[in-house]
Structure 1
Amino acid sequence: MAELLFYHLTESRLEEALPPLLEKSLGRGWRVVVQTGSDERRDALDQLLWTWRDDSFLPHGVESAEHANMQPVLLCNSHSNANNASVRFLVDGAEPPDLVSYDRAVFMFDGHDQEQLEAARGQWKQLKGAGHDLTYWQQTPDRRWERKA
């Protein structure tokens, strides 16, 4: 059963918090898929990951591109797992696919967006009710992650 983590963004935006988590995942040898709530968000993250730091980029692709199956990080707006990822990030309240094939699923939501907060609460309730073990992480004022539940 997948390890399910909820990451509550309170001090930074997704564009600031996601790349370091993806980098950490790649450093552990994991393949990752990031599911967004829209094509526009997917495309914006695609651009961001090429330029998020001056001295490097995160190797990635989008689900519709050639060789999507070879990408260490795959961005999608569907339930696709073309790169056979073991970790799935869900952003913008994206509805998860069946998570049985993943080692870890990370739900990231913006604490300043009421719609995302409500979606995360609903997902938490649904997954908890289905018997999954969940952990809840919140950003501290210095933008570190602290386990709250």
Structure 2
Amino acid sequence: MGAAYFYHLTRDPLDRTLPVLLDKALAAGWRCEVRGQSREEMERLDARLWLWPEEGFLPHGLSGGPHDARQPVLLTMGEGAKNDPTCVMAVEGAEVSAEEVQGLERVCILFDGGDEGAVQVARGQWARLTAAGCSAQYWSQESGRWEKKAER
């Protein structure tokens, strides 16, 4: 049974945090879905991931391509990842169900601490997922490094 990890982005933006988390997930042998709500944001993240790291390569693809099932990281708009992920990283307030959390190794919910709407969406997700019996952790970087602030 997996867990939902909530990442409250207050210092580093999504463009810096997401690639680091994806690197760690791939190192653990996980296949990942990055789930957003808009094609424009997924295309922007796709372009950003081609630049990470500067001297390396983070293998990924944007959903809708001929090799979706083979991608270690697949950027989607929630239409169902064809790459059989073990980890979902939700951005832009993309929904994740309790059943998904319980069936995956991990769900990461990344939200912008400077966007009050995004904070409210994340609070609602926390409440729904923990009420459904999912394990959850809340991580903050207010001190300059990631610290676990709450766990259920």
- The 2-side partners of 1:107 and 1:137 are apart by 10
- Once the two structures are TM-superposed, the CA of residue 71 in structure 1 deviates from its matched residue by 0.4
Which residue of the partner structure matches residue 131 of structure 2? Answer: 129
Secondary structure of the 1:56 match is: coil
Which residue of the partner structure matches residue 44 of structure 1? Answer: 44
**Runs of 4+ that moved beyond 4 A:** none
Within 5 Å, which residues of 2 pair with 1:110-129?
Answer: 110-129=112-131
Secondary structure of the 1:51 match is: coil
TM-score, normalised via structure 2 length: 0.92
- The 1-side partners of 2:79 and 2:120 are apart by 21
Which residue of the partner structure matches residue 86 of structure 1? Answer: 86
Structure 1 stretches of 5 or more lacking a match? none
Which residue of the partner structure matches residue 72 of structure 2? Answer: 72
TM-score, normalised via structure 1 length: 0.94
- The 1-side partners of 2:53 and 2:27 are apart by 16
- The 1-side partners of 2:69 and 2:37 are apart by 21
Which residue of the partner structure matches residue 33 of structure 1? Answer: 33
Amino acid at match of 2:135: D
- Once the two structures are TM-superposed, the CA of residue 63 in structure 1 deviates from its matched residue by 1.4
- Once the two structures are TM-superposed, the CA of residue 33 in structure 1 deviates from its matched residue by 0.6
- Once the two structures are TM-superposed, the CA of residue 49 in structure 1 deviates from its matched residue by 0.6
Which residue of the partner structure matches residue 10 of structure 1? Answer: 10
Question: C-alpha offsets along residues 10-29 of structure 1, whole Å, 9 cap, x if unaligned?
Answer: 10110011101101111111
User: Is 1:104 equivalent to 2:106 in the alignment?
Assistant: yes
Structure 2 stretches of 5 or more lacking a match? none
- Once the two structures are TM-superposed, the CA of residue 50 in structure 1 deviates from its matched residue by 0.6
- Once the two structures are TM-superposed, the CA of residue 82 in structure 1 deviates from its matched residue by 0.7
Secondary structure of the 2:8 match is: strand
- The 2-side partners of 1:58 and 1:120 are apart by 27
- The 2-side partners of 1:52 and 1:140 are apart by 24
**Number of aligned positions between the proteins:** 148
